[in-house]
């Protein structure tokens, strides 16, 4: 079992020397430095000498306390998140925690806005693997950092799972959004509005594409005034909902790209004394906790969020995967959860 340690050396002009500094000075990989400093085998004598000389030259020292915690003990898996939806993040966290508990690993969750923060986390905690969630999974700088450090990683829902260099766990967002739109059409809705997700998240375009496909397949003309931009946050959903409800002819149904924004639509409707679902239907996406607790309860796409991250942690806990085996993209199933927020239009389509 590989054990990676943290460090606390000092060099002039820097707060500390890291294993990355030693690796650059010795001209070897981060992982090779880790192996040498942990006394592992499978390292050539010449390489070992170069690493030790660099460590001495840079005044690098191993944090003995951290090392004693790592060797032979539970290993750390890092979960990287950057999503404004607290419900989504909580579901991710819970799924990862459960699987780590089963495998005996420790979990750290890092909310990241830049690559330097991720690099600092890696230096301080030395994870044996990393789960990368949207939109970080599509950030080339993040992927390069993990590859340069030779740290195993699994991506959650990258833009193109088939061409991704790392393992990934996914669901078909486009198909799920198409099915939800088809459900609304089947209930008799024709004037269906859509609130898009954050433009930096690849799933936003996939969900919008599913909506467009379903509308076109049903020969329903698309209307630009029925599409508003959101950012996966409650506040952005509220702004979008107000614009849609201000239309001279309001939609008979609103499909929001996640549950937080859908909950905001219901709140906006309530403020205007618009009854959901009697006057207007509302649906969301994700099936987070908020979908079940709001009133009326929300019809939504069940994205297996906790299962996605649990599967990713399971891959990282697999010793063979960590040692270089590849993994084909994994796809988990979705389904529509029908609750109280959808009904047939109060009036026939075209007479609203």
7-21, 116-130, 167-181, 290-304: range with lowest mean pLDDT: 7-21
In this prediction, residues 334-352 reach a mean pLDDT of 81
Q: Would the pLDDT of 349 be above 80?
A: no
What pLDDT is stored for residue 102 in this prediction? 85
In this prediction, residues 260-271 reach a mean pLDDT of 98
Asked whether 130 and 155 are in contact (CB, 8 A), the reply is: no
Q: Which of 294, 274, 272 is nearest to 340 (CA)?
A: 294
Q: Would the pLDDT of 334 be above 80?
A: yes
Q: Would the pLDDT of 12 be above 80?
A: no
Contacts of 39 (CB under 8 A, 6+ apart): none
> For residue 210, what is the enclosing H or E element?
helix 202-217
Q: Which of 264, 226, 77 is nearest to 152 (CA)?
A: 77
> Average model confidence (pLDDT) for the chain?
85
In this prediction, residues 320-333 reach a mean pLDDT of 71
What pLDDT is stored for residue 44 in this prediction? 83
% of the chain with per-residue pLDDT over 90: 55
Query: Which CATH architecture does the domain made up of 9-69 adopt?
Result: Orthogonal Bundle (1.10)
Q: How many CB atoms lie within 10 A of CB 60?
A: 24
13-17, 53-57, 177-181: range with lowest mean pLDDT: 13-17
What pLDDT is stored for residue 219 in this prediction? 98
pLDDT band at residue 71 using 50, 70 and 90 as cut-offs: very low
Q: Would the pLDDT of 309 be above 90?
A: yes
Q: Do domains 9-69 and 173-303 have the same CATH topology?
A: no
299-302 and 335-337 as β-strands: parallel, antiparallel, unpaired?
A: antiparallel
In this prediction, residues 151-170 reach a mean pLDDT of 86
316-325, long-range: CB < 8 A, 24+ apart: 316/77, 316/105, 316/128, 316/129, 316/130, 316/131, 316/152, 316/153, 316/154, 317/77, 317/99, 317/100, 317/103, 317/105, 317/129, 319/1, 321/152, 321/167, 322/2, 322/128, 322/129, 322/152
Asked whether 156 and 286 are in contact (CB, 8 A), the reply is: no
At the topology level, CATH places domain 74-171+305-317 in: Rossmann fold (3.40.50)
pTM over 0.85: no
Q: DSSP letters of 248-303?
A: SS--SEEEESSHHHHHHHHHHHHHTT--TTTT-EEEEEE--HHHHHSSSPPEEEE-
What pLDDT is stored for residue 117 in this prediction? 86
What pLDDT is stored for residue 57 in this prediction? 85
Tokens 């379903």 sit at which residue? 214
**What is the residue extent of each domain of the chain?**
9-69, 74-171+305-317, 173-303
Q: Would the pLDDT of 213 be above 60?
A: yes
Contacts of 267 (CB under 8 A, 6+ apart): 238, 241
pLDDT band at residue 16 using 50, 70 and 90 as cut-offs: low
Instruction: Give how far Cα 92 sits from Cα of 70, 168, 297, Å.
Output: 25, 15, 22
pLDDT band at residue 5 using 50, 70 and 90 as cut-offs: very low
What pLDDT is stored for residue 136 in this prediction? 92
Helix (H, G, I), strand (E, B) or coil at 163: coil
State the number of CA atoms in the 13 A half-sphere of 281 facing the CB: 27
Radius of gyration of the chain (CA): 24
In this prediction, residues 319-333 reach a mean pLDDT of 70
Query: Which CATH architecture does the domain made up of 173-303 adopt?
Result: 3-Layer(aba) Sandwich (3.40)
pLDDT tens digit sequence for 113-129: 778 889 888 888 889 89
Separation between Cα atoms, residue 313 and residue 131, nearest integer Å: 7
Asked whether 291 and 336 are in contact (CB, 8 A), the reply is: no
């Amino acid at each position: 079992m590989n054990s990676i340690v943290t460090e606390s050396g000092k060099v002039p002009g820097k707060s500390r020397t890291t294993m990355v500094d030693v690796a650059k000075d010795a001209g070897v990989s981060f992982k090779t430095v880790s192996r040498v400093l942990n006394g592992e085998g499978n390292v050539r004598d010449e390489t070992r000498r170069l690493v030790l000389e660099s460590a001495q030259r840079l005044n690098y020292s191993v944090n003995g306390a951290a090392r004693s915690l790592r060797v032979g003990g539970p290993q750390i898996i890092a979960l990287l998140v950057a999503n404004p939806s607290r419900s989504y993040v909580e579901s991710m966290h819970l799924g990862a925690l459960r699987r780590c508990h089963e495998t005996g690993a420790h979990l750290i969750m890092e909310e990241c806005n830049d690559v330097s923060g991720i690099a600092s986390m890696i230096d301080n905690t030395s994870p044996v693997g990393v789960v990368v969630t949207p939109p970080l999974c599509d950030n080339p700088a993040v992927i390069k950092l993990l590859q340069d450090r030779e740290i195993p990683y699994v991506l959650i829902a990258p833009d193109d799972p088939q061409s991704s260099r790392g393992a990934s766990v996914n669901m078909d967002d486009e198909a799920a959004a198409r099915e939800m739109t088809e459900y609304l059409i089947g209930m008799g809705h024709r004037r269906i509005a859509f609130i898009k997700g954050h433009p930096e998240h690849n799933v936003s375009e996939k969900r919008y594409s599913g909506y467009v496909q379903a509308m076109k397949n049903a020969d329903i003309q698309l209307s630009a005034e029925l599409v508003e931009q959101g950012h996966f946050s409650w506040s952005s959903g509220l702004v979008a909902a107000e614009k849609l409800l201000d239309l001279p002819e309001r939609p008979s149904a609103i499909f929001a790209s996640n549950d937080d924004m859908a909950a905001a639509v219901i709140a906006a409707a309530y403020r205007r004394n618009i009854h959901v679902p009697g006057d207007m239907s509302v649906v969301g996406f994700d099936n987070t906790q908020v979908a079940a607790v709001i009133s009326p309860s929300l019809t939504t796409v069940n994205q297996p969020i906790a299962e996605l991250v649990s599967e990713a942690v399971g891959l990282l806990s697999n010793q063979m995967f960590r040692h270089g085996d590849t993994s084909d993209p994994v796809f988990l199933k979705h389904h529509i959860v029908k609750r109280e927020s959808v009904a047939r239009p109060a009036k026939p389509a075209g007479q609203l």
